[in-house]
Amino acid sequence: MGRSRFESQSALCAPSRNSLLTSRRPDTLHLYDFYSYWRDVAGNFTTLPQYFKQHGYHTMSVGKVFHPAHNIHFPKSLRCTLNEMLCSGVSSNWSDDQPYSWSQYPYHPSTQKYKESAVCSNSDGTLGKNIVCPVEVHFQPGKTLPDLQSLHVAMKFLKERQGSHQPFLLAVGFHKPHVPLKYPRKYLKHHPLDSVQLPDVRQRPSALPTVAWNPWTDLRERDDIAALNLSFPFQPIPGNIHCHLSSPNTQPYTLVQSNIDLSIL
């Protein structure tokens, strides 16, 4: 699976998903955040899965398709006051747009709640919240990873639909590649460091519009990056970061992508 162009009409989860699933550009929806539900703010548009559902298809969502709600067990009135990021569920009405888009309630892997847990092995034997995080899957909480759970649920759905006369639409959204770069350690052997080429462009492109620039500091908040003792928030992360970490960020990204590619195949 080769790629020569990498483009996104909005390099952020909720706006790009809203755009794809409503078949409207972000500058038509005028939604660039996590906190606006397009049916209430932009228009009561028919989504792609909703169209299929209205025409007799059984529609099912597995994993991250619409931008999902975080900590959905909190009452709606408390989610935004507890943490701003909890408000992100607004973008899909706290429900992944169910029941409009889906015939049954969307599936989300239970182990996604451990996304920010300290489960990454450090060289000193401790566990950290690292950006680079190869893991032994059977030692993880639940002895699995979120995307593996989604893969198994999708496979189960396909098997159960065999022989059914009703057509179906199955949407499967894998969370990776997404920070933290957590992946099964066994994939390390498939992409040795000397086979990974670092990108030539390591600075912000001069023509990049401001709206596309990522101001987030989540990389610097990871334990392995924090250990570099960079002056927060302005000192650049070193270009030779692979000399400071156990492996360069480009290699883990490639490994995570390979894991997802194999799941799709």
Catalytic residues: 13, 67
Dist CA 82 CA 88 (whole Å): 12
Neighbouring-strand partners of residue 169: 59
Return the DSSP state at 157: H
DSSP-derived secondary structure for 85-104 = GGGGGGGGTTTTTTTTS-SS
**Measuring CA to CA, which residue among 145, 209, 221 is closest to residue 177?**
145
Is there a contact between 109 and 146 (Cβ–Cβ < 8 Å)? yes
Q: Which residues contact 1 (CB under 8 A, 6 or more apart)?
A: 261
The count of residues in the chain is 265
Angle value at C-alpha 212, between 49 and 50, nearest 5 degrees = 5
